[in-house]
Amino acid sequence: MPTFVYMTRCDGCGHCVDICPSDIMHIDKTYRRAYNIEPSMCWECYSCVKACPQNAIDVRGYADFAPLGHSVRVLRDEEKGVIAWRIKFRNGEKDLNLIAPITTKPWGESIPDLKKEKAPTQEQKDSQLLYSEPKYIRMDDGDIHTFESNGLKMKQGVAY
């Protein structure tokens, strides 16, 4: 299920309109508040949820894997450089708070100057790795994070 806006919180600043990659967050013509014009096209990227300075946007999870009554809310505090998630289960008993850093340096001060980077070697060009892709996300590098290293076996196309 897609994003929706708490009208009492929205002040119509336009941050969600600006950031939505699907261009489906727009301003209501009657109340001048944000709303999702095409819920079926929302891929729940949470960009607008995190960008909203009033925390006025929320997301309903798909009912097949997140039964109604649960809550997943996020708070992105850029000045502190962290993002916090709160996941509340439908039964109200399990309530998780998670905080993680989203930057290690002040915003806008450490933008890499790609013009000064060395041109890629032929070996890098032939490689399937993307530019500056960390090797540890590869599934076949040094047996890190492979099915085998995690003791999993493929059975009928599914790793158990």
Partner 1 sequence: MFVSNPFADLAASIPVDVMQWYVVLMFLAVVGGTIFDVIHKKSGKYFFDKAKAAEAARTRELNSGDKMNIAVQTALVDVATSAEFCNPHRRIAHLMTMYGFILFILTTIALVFAYPTHAAPGIVSLLWHLSALSVMVGGYWFWFVIRVDISAEGNPCYKLVKADLFILSLLGTTTFGFLWSVGQSMGGGSITNLLLALFLISSTTLFCGVIWSKFAHMFFKPAAAYNKRIVKADGSMENMPEIGDLSDKALQERFPDIPEYLGTNPPNMGLGIKREAPRHY
Beta carbons within 8 Å of 54's beta carbon, 6+ residues apart: 9, 10, 11, 13
User: Are 24 and 53 in contact, with CB atoms under 8 Å apart?
Assistant: no
- By the rule CB under 8 A, 37 interacts with partner 1: no
Residue 128 interacting with partner 1 (CB under 8 A): no
Structure tokens at 95: 């309530």
What are the Cα distances from residue 76, in Å, to 45, 52, 100, 144? 14, 9, 10, 31
Part in contact with partner 1 (CB under 8 A); list of ranges 36-44, 47-55, 126-134, 146-154: 47-55
Verify binding: residue 22, partner 1, rule CB under 8 A.
no
- Binding residue for partner 1, selected from 21, 32, 149, 150, defined by CB under 8 A: 32
DSSP 13: -
Asked if 98 touches partner 1 (CB under 8 A), the answer is yes
- Whether 43 sits among the annotated catalytic residues: the reply is yes
20 by Cβ neighbours in 10 Å (0-12 / 13-18 / 19+) ranks as buried
Query: Active site residue: 6, 31, 43, 107, which one?
Result: 43
- The pair of three-digit structure tokens given for residue 18, joined into one six-digit string: 């600006």
Residue 103 is a binding residue for partner 1 (CB under 8 A): yes
Q: Which stretch binds partner 1 (CB under 8 A): 37-45, 94-102, 112-120, 148-156?
A: 94-102
For position 94 contacting partner 1 by CB under 8 A, the verdict is: no
At 3, which amino acid appears?
A: T
Residues forming contacts to partner 1 in the complex (CB under 8 A) are 8-9, 11-15, 17-19, 26-32, 51, 53-55, 71, 73-82, 84-86, 88, 92, 97-101, 103-109
Give the catalytic positions in this structure.
43
